Amino acid sequence: MSLRLRLTLVYSVLLSGIVALLSIIIYVMVSMQLVDFVDDFLQKGAHQIITALRADGIGNLDINSEITPITDEYYFQVWSMDGRLVGYSENASKFTQALDRGGLDLEEPRFNDVTVDQVTFRVLTVPLEVQGQVSGRLQVGMGMTAIQNTLRYLQAVLGVTAVFSIAVSAFVGWITTGQALAPLETMAHIARRIATADDLSQRIPISPGRNDEISALALTFNQTFVRLERLFDSQRRFLADVSHELRTPLTVIKGNVGLMRMMKAFDEEALSSIEMEVERLTRMVGDLLLMAQAEAGKLPLMLVPIEIDEILFEVFEEIKVLSGGKHDIRLNQIEPAIVIGDRDRIKQVLLNLGSNAVNYTPEGRKILFGLTSQRDWVQIFVSDEGQGVPKEELSRLFERFYRGEKSRTRTSDTGGFGLGLPIAYWIVRNHGGRIDIETEEGQGTIFNVWLPKSQTEIPTRPWRKNRQQ
């Protein structure tokens, strides 16, 4: 059974129950109102008849025919204690017995429904007292045929209305649920198409004016497809880049080993080359493990109070050594500051940014380091006068192994694997901070690292100010 049919049936059953309950309530209330109306009418008639009765000195009842109400709307009989019919209305002359034979022995007034000659009557029996003694009984009755016909007509109207309402609601429910569940069918179709064709570019169409749970689900599916597509694309690029990065050192190692085998002797230069390539592979594997830990949220951090300005001085000295005097490396502005963080990881971030600036900055150009303390945040910037980053590449700058087209013309031969910036990004992010990039092609790049001073209450967003060089 389809979901659409199940929802329609559930909706119809619930509506049927509600309509049935309302119909029963309406029928019972109308029936009670009609019966109360008849009872009030019989009580008024009984009161008129009682005022026309009289009794002699010994308690015998008699009725004054001159003041007896003449009406065809109800029947009445007056019975004495010895069972004689003392008086009756003209329309009751055809009845040879009491309207309610069981009521002749009652001591209290009573309403009762009786059937006489296959006709239902509502009968009121009232004991008649003379000087405190019961001298007879009055029975006033009214035919219920009109009331019964009215109730039967009401039953028919309620039944037809209920059936029509349920049928219309079931039809409307079927159409409505079909329209509501249409996106789910589209989702299933697209999911099957993705599973069979491995095409994650498929998206679920969403109506612009629609704003309900199914639209939210469709939007979530589309966002999931986008993330999966990016993930698989990243995985494919990752495998391609890893294989490319591994191919060069392995080829060098294999060539040197083959050379030594042919020479049947150890060659110091070949061994040094092998050692360098092994170190490259070791660094790359270490970086990949670190990236895997960061992306899994399991990056080990030793959070302690650290003097960030001292770390920046150390990085400044190491970058000067790395540059070998080929660049104009300066400290632009340093303010003492303490943050809660992992000293080694933060130093790794600054070293990655500094070495990146050295690799992409032509010889003789300027590289600046600076640190400022702003409210709850510390800002560290690394500025270079290199080739800059194209705007279209900014969104991919922190992807693994991504180095862009211009990275192939880097000015240093000590290039890495395209993992430095992704690692720096994840380290800063795990400290609750962020990295901003200001770049212009041909002019240079500025990396701004924002780190919170405390890890207990990380501010929602660091205060940002444009820095003038």
pLDDT in tens, 10-28: 888 888 888 889 999 999 9
| Between residues 1 and 311, the one the model is more confident about | 311
Arithmetic mean of pLDDT, 263-286:
79
Q: What percent of the chain has pLDDT over 70?
A: 83
Q: Which of 27-31, 118-122, 379-383, 389-393 comes out lowest in average pLDDT? A: 389-393
Could you read off the pLDDT of 288-345 as tens digits, one per residue? 777 666 666 666 778 899 999 999 999 999 998 888 889 999 998 888 999 998 898 8
Q: How many Å apart are CA 279 and CA 312, to the nearest integer?
A: 26
Contact yes or no for 96/76 (Cβ under 8 A): no
Task: Kindly tell me if the per-residue pLDDT of 63 is higher than 70.
Answer: no
What's the confidence (pLDDT) of residue 86?
79
What is the pLDDT, as a whole number, of residue 257? 84
Inform me whether the pLDDT recorded for 414 exceeds 50. Answer: no
Q: For the residues 447-468, what does the mean pLDDT come to? A: 67
pLDDT for 158 beyond 50: yes
Higher pLDDT among residues 466 and 445, named by residue: 445
Most confident by average pLDDT, 6-10, 246-250, 397-401: 6-10
Q: What is the pLDDT of residue 356?
A: 86
Give residue 378's pLDDT: 93
Q: Stretch 441-451: mean pLDDT, rounded?
A: 89
| CA 329 to each of CA 97, 308, 316, 438: distance values in angstroms, whole numbers, following the listed order | 128, 19, 8, 19
B/e letters for 379-407, b = 16+ CB within 10 Å, e = fewer, are: bbbbbbbbbbbeeebeeebbbbbbbbeeb
pLDDT-derived band at 33, boundaries 50, 70, 90: very high
User: Residues 13, 15, 18, CA angle at the centre, nearest 5°?
Assistant: 110
From its phi and psi, is residue 96 left (phi > 0), alpha (psi between -120 and 50) or beta?
A: alpha
Give the model's confidence band at 244: pLDDT under 50 very low, under 70 low, under 90 confident, else very high: low
CATH of 3-150, picked from 3.30.450, 1.10.3470, 2.60.40, 1.10.10, is: 3.30.450
The class (CATH top level) of 213-295 is mainly alpha
Task: Write down the mean pLDDT value for the chain.
Answer: 80
d(CA 289, CA 112): 94
pLDDT at residue 380 in the model: 93
DSSP label of 114: E
Side-chain-side CA neighbours of residue 468 (13 Å):
0
The phi and psi torsions of 255 (rounded to 5 degrees) equal -65, -45
In this prediction, residue 461 carries a pLDDT of 53
Which CATH code is given to the segment(s) 304-452? 3.30.565.10
Beta-carbon contacts of residue 462 (< 8 Å; ≥ 6 apart): 374, 376, 377, 379, 433, 434, 450, 452
Band of residue 30 on the pLDDT scale cut at 50, 70, 90: very high
> What pLDDT does 36 receive?
92
Distance separating the N- and C-terminal Cα atoms of the chain: 71
**pTM score, two decimals?**
0.47
Each domain of the chain, given as residue ranges in start order, spans 3-150, 213-295, 304-452
pLDDT of 92 reads: 78
Number of separate helices (H) and strands (E) present in the chain = 7, 14
The set of residues, in sequence order, having a beta carbon less than 8 Å from that of 65 and lying 6+ positions away, is 87
